[in-house]
Structure 1
């Protein structure tokens, strides 16, 4: 068995370079705060607690539609397309569905007459994993670790089945932001 040996001066130079490039000793790496937040979130959801999470980042964005017969038909269509729809949260109080889509979708989402896509800096409350019925928001389609709802097929299904009422005005009132900020052109 051979071992690699480094001349002491080269080893000291390498170590000094690593120390200098690492930054302050008590300063965590920039991505560690995000990682810690993700781990806390996953632990809370696993512990069967409702958990507020930030959209965007590495987790997911959310497409918001009304609930109702047309929206449920979209879920059924996505079930057929995906072999089981990705995660969808139903909020009976606000009469809407939250479709969890890949992160970054909000930045690419073109205005849609029947849906809004939100990412950072917005947040969403994930219901505990065992909540599959009201009261309160619940998993209409449970979260599965292997998939999110694909935006292309979802967008096409929403355009075809047109769930009403559109969510734009309600979100504008709740969030206090202009509907054009989240692709809220109606038509």
Structure 2
């Protein structure tokens, strides 16, 4: 019952444009964290082309959050990706037991983390093209050390 209450509170936060705290893995998504830099934006542009539906300029890539303070891009990928991602030089994939604080859905610019590519429907970033493009463009510096040094399991 407490799990249901938590989900209801999370949905209310989302509807009221507050930060939403979600567990990674499970039914929602995992994340891949990379550097926010010109090479990272190039990866996003290519993913826009791979997934383009013709419906709009920013609907193609899948959801990406930019954290300008940490200079990270946070790519929302299908749940379970962290089980198969493996070590990667340019992107760290996190799933359970970590959590992610999602910015309000209307937050599309700084200050603070914001939606660089909005979250729409059930579309997520495809992990295989993401991994290939990260290998090709090598965005850096990689966030591995900073992420692994954090004592909390929550990415905000």
Instruction: Give TM-score scaled by structure 2 length.
Output: 0.87
Q: Does 1:172 align with 2:141?
A: no
Runs of 5+ in structure 2 lacking a partner? 53-59
**What SS does structure 1 have at the residue aligned with 2:136?**
helix
User: Paired residue for 1:161?
Assistant: 137
Give, in whole Å, the separation in 2 of the partners of 1:150 and 1:38.
26
Question: What is the match of residue 39 of structure 2?
Answer: 70
Distance in 2 between residues matched to 1:97 and 1:175, nearest whole Å: 20
Could you say if the C-alpha distance between residues 105 and 39 of structure 1 is closer, same or farther in structure 2, counting changes exceeding 3 Å?
farther
Larger proportion of helix: 1
Higher strand proportion: 2
Structure with the bigger RCO (C-alpha within 8 Å, sep 6+) is 2
Report how far residue 81 of structure 1 moved: 0.6
Whose Rg is larger?
Answer: 1
CA distance in 2, matches of 1:93, 1:148: 24
* Cα displacement string for residues 36-81 of structure 1 (whole angstroms, at most 9, x for unaligned residues): 5444323322321111111111000000001010000111011111
Q: 2:32, 2:151 → 1: CA distance?
A: 15
The residue aligned with 2:81 is 105
